[in-house]
Amino acid sequence: MARLILFGPPGAGKGTQAVELSSRFTVPHISTGDLFRAAVSEQTALGVKAQGYLDRGELVPDELVIDMIRERLVQPDTQAGWLLDGFPRTVPQAHALDELLSSINQSLDRVVNLEVPDGFLLERLLGRGRKDDNEEVIRRRLQVYHDQTAPLIRFYGDRNQLTDIDGSAPVEDVTAAIQTALTAFFSQA
C-alpha cells in the first residue's frame, strides 16, 4: 500500500518516473495532465473547458481539477493506493486533497520532489515535441510552476512529508534514488 505524490516542475521527468514507481508499488498512476489531454482529444465537456488553458500553459481552474481527482480516488482500483503525478499544483488543490482524503479515510504517505534547475528543463521540454511544448508556452508553464506550484514544497516540507531527489541525474539513477528513499521511508513507517 502506498499513497504517493510525484512533484516537480514541468520537464522534471515525472511521467517517466511515475511509470517506474507505479509498477514498483503496484498502484495506479494518475496523471492529471494525461487525463486532461484525453478529455481534450475526446472533446468531452471537461475537455472543451480545459483546452484553452492547456494550449496557453496555464493551470486549469482548481474546481475542475479537484472534481476530476475526487471521481478518480473513489474508484475501486485506487483503494489500495495511488500515485499522483501533476496534482496538486496549487495550495488550494493541496487543501482540497487533504479534505478529500480525510472524507474517504485515506492518508498521504509521501511527496517525492524532483529537483531540476530551470536551464535543464527548458532544454528537455524543447526536445520533447508535445503540442504545448513551444518555447513561449514552456516559459509560461515554468513561470506558473514557480508562482503557483513551488509554494507546495514548503507546504509539504513543513509537515515533514517531502523527499527531495536530484532529478537532473540520469533517468536510471533518479529511479534508484527514489526507490531507495521510499524503501527507507516505508521500512521506518
Residues lying near ligand AMP in the complex (CB under 6 A) are found at 10, 32-33, 36, 53-54, 57-60, 65, 86-87, 89, 93, 141
Residue nearest to ligand AMP (CB): 33
For residues 2 and 157, is the Cβ–Cβ distance under 8 A? no
**Would residue 13 be called left, alpha or beta, if left means φ above 0 and alpha means ψ between -120 and 50 degrees?**
left
Of 49 and 185, which CB lies nearer to ligand AMP in the complex structure?
A: 49
Pairwise CA distance, residues 32 & 130, whole Å: 16
- Minimum CB–partner distance for residue 119 and ligand AMP (Å): 18
Residue closer to ligand AMP (CB basis): 29 or 110: 29
∠ CA(150), CA(153), CA(156), 5° rounding?
140
Give the amino acid at 35. Answer: L
Q: Which residues carry out catalysis?
A: 14, 89, 128, 130, 141
Of the two residues 17 and 93, which places its CB atom closer to ligand AMP in the complex? 93
| Least spacing, CB of residue 81 vs ligand AMP, in Å | 19
The least distance separating ligand AMP from the CB of residue 86, rounded to whole angstroms, comes to 3
Instruction: Closer to ligand AMP by CB, 3 or 141: give it.
Output: 141
Shortest Å, Cβ 180 to ligand AMP: 25
